[in-house]
Chains A and B, each alone.
Chain A
């Protein structure tokens, strides 16, 4: 049995493409910043400093200070831990639930699949953001509730993809062979079908992580995600918004952080997609 994880030599060159390398560098440094913010940030991100209000970038305050004298560089760094966390926490549960449900309905089909199909149709009838903010409204604004909302809506997309892939795999001979050999359903699904079907889901997961950062910061900006005074890029931009003409650094710096990180995720995602995509 061949797994699509096995790589042909030609595909490995993807890993040497400048785009992928740049993306990887951004991603790894983002994760380092997210894991050890206190090591990189020179100041306490929430400490007020009345003697340094709205100071432009300087040697002491690289990204300047805000209207309460907080060091913007430190706030942007501390926000890494929140925003990188978003990429994982907002997607991982959706991935797990989606893969499980998608595999099961894909394999067993029947009534469960029919009901699932209708539910998916219904859920994708809502614009993603509309449903997410409606769920946030139910749960109340805040980071944890935002994760729950994104998971509640997002798993459907994974499940739909997983189901289609499993169905595709079922058409292959080895699934039938497994049945003939009397393997348990669990073994067929998780040992045989899943490893082969999961590649596109993993590729989608990479893009989804980049999207989760964008979505999370948008909700933070709108006041529905992370809450001030917590440092989060969307919140920082919203806070800096009032001073965009007089203290541009407040909203510019966190914006650059979002774009860079998003770019890192999608470049790496593209690389992995190329790597895993079977070549004809």
Chain B
């Protein structure tokens, strides 16, 4: 199968999934208890004002009509107005995405920088004290909730030592780098633990594989073996893992943004939940779903590029 047709068939697979995603979101938002009109109105609004809001939201229409409107609105990018922000949902989300995107990429970078070298060191010293030490530290990392790591970093490195700003985002690129360093590290500690684990075993697996043993026996220099066989396989498994843990990464950024007061979509989601901001909750869940599907797609593409065998299956 050619790359193009693989790409197209992969895209087509998304369509039914996405319909179900929309049904889930629609039902979820309709199931939110209470009256959206009351949530939208001020506590002091009159019954008449409430009725006007209901009319405007189309809450009197039958449910399937509301769903049809919803699907149409999703495709025209019109997700209504946020109650909390009093502005179009699309606009609000687009404003907040860069901070979250920055944080997520930064965290991925950190995860790779941390997990990559350590995984190799651990694998090469298999079951030695370095290996055990590295794995123990990551084991503890995996057992620590993200919010707690963030809280500790924020309190000690930012508030006490004053090495970093206490949360926020900044305005220029370098300010972003500086402000988001601790949040990115917070997210990365968790992700890198997962990557480290898998990378270590995949490296060990390849090192033990017959073809590598054979190459070694043939007298190929170690760096060639490392480059040709081990790195390449490690790369494939890491890409797969990164793709699979994108949901994890987003969950991590959601919590981290709250702890570090980063104005991203994660914090927005929590604000929206607490304010019962129906249109915003709807828009955000949709955004998260779209992002995850895109990442899944991208992962598949990269995998297919790195490992042509996959395209056939």
Contact = CB atoms under 8 A, between A and B. Distances in A.
Are A and B in direct contact (Cβ within 8 Å)? Answer: yes
Interface of A: 118-119, 121-131, 133-138, 140, 210, 214, 217-218, 221-224, 234, 237, 241, 244-245, 251, 255, 258-263, 265-267
Interface of B: 16-18, 20-21, 24, 28, 31-33, 139-140, 142-148, 151-152, 155, 159-160, 246-248, 250-251, 254-255, 258, 269-270, 273-274, 276, 281, 284-285, 288-289, 292-293, 296
Contact of A125 (B17, B145, B281, B284): B17
B16 A134 contact: no
A214 B254 contact: no
A221 B21 contact: no
A125 B284 CA distance: 13
B142 A266 contact: yes
Nearest to A244: B155
A118 B20 contact: yes
Contacts of A123: 24
A245 B17 contact: no
A245 B159 contact: yes
A168 B151 CA distance: 44
Given A118-B20, A119-B20, A127-B254, A134 B143 contact: no
Given A118-B20, A135-B28, A237 B251 contact: no
A245 B24 CA distance: 43
A169 to B, nearest CB: 21
Contacts of A129: 250-251, 254-255
Nearest to B246: A127
9 contacts: A122-B21, A125-B293, A127-B292, A129-B250, A133-B273, A136-B273, A138-B28, A140-B33, A258-B144
Given A122-B21, A127-B248, A130-B251, A214 B145 contact: yes
B271 to A, nearest CB: 11
Contacts of B144: 214, 255, 258-259, 262
A131 B20 CA distance: 14
Contacts of B276: 137
A259 B148 CA distance: 10
A133 B255 CA distance: 11
Contacts of B33: 138, 140
A218 B159 CA distance: 22
